Amino acid sequence: MPRLFTEREKWMNNHLLQEEIKEFLGNPTRSIHFFL
C-alpha cells in the first residue's frame, strides 16, 4: 500500500511541475517574479 501511495505522490509532483512549467511558458514575467 505505501509503495502505491509513493508512486501516486511522485506522479502528482511531476504533474504539478509540468503545470508550473506550462504556466511559466504562458506567462514568463509573472513567473520570473515568483522565482526571484
1-36 per-position pLDDT tens digit? 677 778 888 888 888 888 888 887 877 676 566 555
Nearest to 21 by CA among 9, 35, 6: 35
Write b or e for each residue in 1-36: b if 16 or more Cβ atoms lie within 10 A of its Cβ, otherwise e. Answer: eeeeeeeeeeeeeeeeeeeeeeeeeeeeeeeeeeee
> What is the pTM for the complete model shown?
0.46
**What pLDDT sits at residue 35?**
56
Domain range annotation of the chain? 2-35
